[in-house]
Structure 1
Amino acid sequence: MLSINDIKKPIAADIDAFEEKFRNSMKSSVPLLDRITHYIVKRKGKQIRPMFVFFSASICGGINEATHRGAALVELLHTASLVHDDVVDNSYQRRGFFSINALWKNKIAVLVGDYLLSKGLLLSIDNNDFQLLRIVSDAVKQMSEGELMQIEKVRRMDIGEPVYYEVIRQKTASLIASCCACGAASAGASDEVIEKMRLFGEKIGIAFQIKDDMFDFGTDDVGKPLGIDIKEKKVTLPLIYALANCSSSEKKRVINLVKNHNEDPKKIAEIIKFVKDTGGLQYAETQMKKYQEEAFEILNTFPDSDSHRGLEQLVRFTTERDK
């Protein structure tokens, strides 16, 4: 598989320019805020979200200043949500770095999240990017609803496939969908094309999350199983399938393990073995590939180009990764 640097070559200059503009979009006259936002930029990831924005704009008419603002809007609102999530989850690390709340405590982290949110809103309003703001704001709303739905269902252990897909569509897929829709909208695409790109991104997001959920049960690629989702009592697709394809007594036994013994490493290993033996991982892999293929079918309605191929490679990178 190509590296992320190889994939972004067709838009490398735009991504480099975006980095500078994104840093500028977070600047403040308050020294403490500048120190924190500098720390946020320094620990940036692979820039998958901006790449989806830029590639989508490129195949829908071309990258322009609105595309840069759309990518910055997505990053500002998403980063704000991550900062707030770390406070809610009492999480002190993200991507191997200390979280904002770990270094500057909860009150400052919440205020920084609010600041990033307001900067994103003002960036759009000041430039009359109301369509982009609507697209990304809708995604943030869906992410919140999906998280709350999952919390409610986890308490009741009441998750079947339809609920699972609705949760991940809102929690994860809505963000990637907004990246693709923002890119298309920034390039001046029609409403029909914007919706097509939104659906394309949604299918990628669902495939991405299914792949992510598979890692919790271990695959040949990642080695030792982690069982993090089990510890948090999250019922994901591999486990849902396994529970639906076993005897009622076995189902009760496994649900009891997830509910009441989710901190015991031996019990977690037992749940993981049950999922593997019942075909949960194979089923999830099949479903992931189905959504990936549906995304490619949408992508292939666009003419072939460097950006078209770059977007295809980016989809493969996000859905076929090994970690």
Structure 2
Amino acid sequence: MSTTIKKLGKPVQNEFELFTKEFTSALQSDISLIKEISQYILNQKSKRIRPLLVLLSAKLCGLPGENTIIAASLVEILHTATLIHDDIIDEALTRRGKPSVNAVWKNKVSVLIGDFLFSRSLTNMLRIRDFEALELLSRTSEALSSGEILQLEKSSNNGMDEENYFRMIWLKTASLFATSCKVGALTVGADQEKADVLYKFGKYLGLAFQVKDDLFDYTATEESIGKPIGRDLKSNLITLPLIHTLNKLSSAENRRIRNLIKIGLQPDDVKEINNLILESGGVEYTKQKLKEISEKACESLAGFHDSDIKQSLLGFIEFNQERIN
């Protein structure tokens, strides 16, 4: 891969070091079990994309300060909390190629650790002391949970269509990308127009990231992405490649496939559905949507003067297109 996270983060290298210290400190507790799990989380190989978006967006608009570093830590805490809860819901045993928190400490402890992180994010929000930033972060915290619930609801009642799919991935993924970009701008006193443009950029970038993630379920290997492939299907989660395929089937065949997913898929069922998706062009359709969304993200930053910081933000689009995990 020609575009690496390390290269994209170079313009904010010093700020990122401050973020790392802040994030590490934010996960600390005098309770030994929390300290143990926090250290486990810190040792995992995370891309830290959202805090980098905070730092780069801030530096694009001004000079990052203490609030910028706090905000960068805050969005990563929120992201980590949602990942822990996601893995419980999906019954996932691996995360980034390592055993997930719930695989090691089981569901009861994992739920509480996720709750602890959400609570810690609230504490950090108060440290920012900026009403607009607080309101944005609070709404985003709600959106993350709402998106997961919407996905479960629509998947269980056969209501997942393309419109609901994009609404769902906006809430559960793209909203935090958008907020990361905008809150970065707000922490340096950027004007509303710049903050809104960065929010739009983050929205499209986040949508593109989730669409790419959903493609992995049909195009990747377990070794490359660090988690089981076919997990969405086995968890009764209907994503864009399958939605496109279902739209091309007869009503009877559509119902048959949805019922198979609902009652629980056997290995032969997964193979059959994967073949249907490939034959119907579900993967190619999703790749085309990914291309369109990525172009919108790129266009969003057209009003900013060219700089190494702007190029790093745009580089995340290329990074997403190239990534294999």
TM over 0.5: yes
Task: State, as a whole percentage, how many aligned pairs show the same letter.
Answer: 39
**Could you give the per-residue CA deviations for residues 67-91 of structure 1, whole angstroms, max 9, x where no partner exists?**
1011011112222233333344444
> Are 2:141 and 1:140 equivalent residues in the alignment?
yes
Aligned match of 1:246:
249
The more displaced of 57-66 and 45-54 is 57-66
Q: Deviations over 1:224-281 (max 9, x none)?
A: 9932211122211111112212333443443344334x43222211111111111111
1:231-310 counterparts in 2 under 5 A?
Answer: 231-260=234-263, 262-310=264-312
* 1:230 aligns to 2:233 (yes or no): yes
- 1:19 correspondence with 2:20: yes
SS of alignment partner, residue 28 of structure 1: coil
TM-score where L is the length of structure 1 = 0.90
1:97 aligned onto 2:135? no
Normalised TM-score (structure 2): 0.90
Q: Does 1:47 align with 2:44?
A: no
Q: Please say if residues 204 and 319 of structure 1, whose CA atoms lie closer than 8 Å, have aligned partners that are also in contact.
A: no
Give the conservation status (yes or no) of the 8 Å contact 1:67–1:186: yes
Q: Tell me the SS of whatever aligns to 1:159.
A: coil
Q: Closer, same or farther in 2 for the Cα pair 1:42/1:289, shift >3 Å?
A: same
Q: State the one-letter code of the partner of 2:268.
A: K
SS class of match (1:301): coil
Q: CA, structure 1 residues 60+155, in 2 after alignment: closer, same or farther (shift >3 Å)? A: same
Q: Which moved more, 1:7-16 or 1:50-59?
A: 7-16
Q: Counterparts in 2 of 1:24-103, with a 5 A limit?
A: 24-103=25-104
Would the alpha carbon gap of residues 116 and 254 (structure 1) be closer, same or farther in structure 2, given more than 3 Å must change? closer
Q: Give CA-to-partner distance per residue, 1:165-217, whole Å, 9 cap, x none.
A: 11111111111111111111112112232222112111111111111111212
- What is the one-letter code of the residue matched to 1:203? Y
C-alpha separation in 1, matches of 2:85 and 2:116 = 11
- CA positional deviation for 1:127: 4.1
Residue matched to 1:109: 110
* Distance in 2 separating the partners of 1:222 and 1:276: 21
Q: Aligned Cα RMSD in Å?
A: 2.5
Distance in 2 between the 1:31 and 1:220 partners? Answer: 36
Distance 1:114 1:189 in 2: 32
* AA aligned opposite 1:299: L
Give the counterpart letter for 2:249 in structure 1: C
Paired with 2:265 and 2:133, the residues of 1 have a C-alpha distance of 43
- Secondary structure of 1:216's counterpart equals helix
Query: Alignment partner for residue 313 of structure 1, among 312, 315, 320?
Result: 315
Where does the alignment leave 5 or more consecutive residues of structure 2 unmatched?
none
| C-alpha distance after superposition, 1:33-72 (max 9, x if no partner) | 3233222212240111111111111112232221101101
Bigger mean CA offset, 292-301 vs 88-97: 88-97
Question: Is the contact made by 2:128 and 2:134 (CA closer than 8 Å) also made in structure 1?
Answer: no
Contact in 1 for aligned 2:170/2:203 (Cα 8 Å): yes
TM-aligned CA distance change 1:35 to 1:229, over 3 Å: closer
Amino acid at match of 1:227: G
Q: Which amino acid aligns with 1:180?
A: C
Cα distance in 1 for partners of 2:110, 2:250 equals: 47
How many residues in Structure 1 have an aligned counterpart in Structure 2? 322
Q: Secondary structure at the match of 2:237?
A: coil
Preserved CA contact (<8 Å) 2:3 2:318: no
Task: Give the structure 1 partner of residue 165 of structure 2.
Answer: 164
Report the more deviating stretch, 69-78 or 126-135: 126-135
**Equivalent position amino acid for 1:56 in 2:** S
User: Which segment drifts farther, 77-86 or 302-311?
Assistant: 77-86
Stretch moving more, 294-303 or 11-20: 11-20
Q: 1:275 to 1:22 in 2, by over 3 A?
A: same
**AA in 2 matched with 1:58:** K
Counterpart of 1:154 in structure 2 is 155
